[in-house]
Amino acid sequence: MEKRIYLNDSVDKELVAILRIDGRASISKLAKLLYVSRGTVQNRLDRLIDSGAILGFTVRSHDELETDVIRAIMMIEVIGKSTTQVIKKLRGIAQLEKVHTTNGAWDLVAEIRTSSLVEFDRILRDVRTIDGVLNSETSLFLSSV
């Protein structure tokens, strides 16, 4: 049975929102911003991590520092009812940072991050050869504005 992941209340939601902006915020700073005790923040953080609501903490770097990174978005069309099977295969490709279900002409959207065009080409080929993938369209990110 799949574990249900949820945020209990507005304090949990605000805690996650603050951490999205500053994943390095101290417990004291979080408590001050949320108007709760440090113990409350620590307990909530522990629960959110244990439940899987918070998967980890990371560093976001400026785009100019990532000169050797190739980023793209790939829209994927899936045949019939094979979406679940395709998603399982896509999750096995480390260079796909996120996979989203969507509506409209495309069934899935994947965020790609690679270190070379050779690797990028291989990822496109790997995705397109997955059973159940009918069509795809990929756009490279050139710059952020």
- What is the pTM assigned to this prediction? 0.60
DSSP, collapsed to helix, strand or coil, labels residue 93 as coil
Which pLDDT tens digit goes with each residue over 60-76? 666 566 567 899 999 99
How would residue 21 be classed by pLDDT, with cut points 50, 70 and 90? confident
What b/e string do you get for 13-34 counting C-beta neighbours within 10 Å, with b at 16 or more? ebbeebbeeeeebeeeebbeeb
| Complete domains list, the chain, with CATH | 10-51 (1.10.10.10), 63-140 (3.30.70.920)
Q: Which two tokens stand for residue 81?
A: 């009812």
Average pLDDT, the chain: 88
DSSP 114-143: ESSHHHHHHHHHHHHTSTTEEEEEEEE---
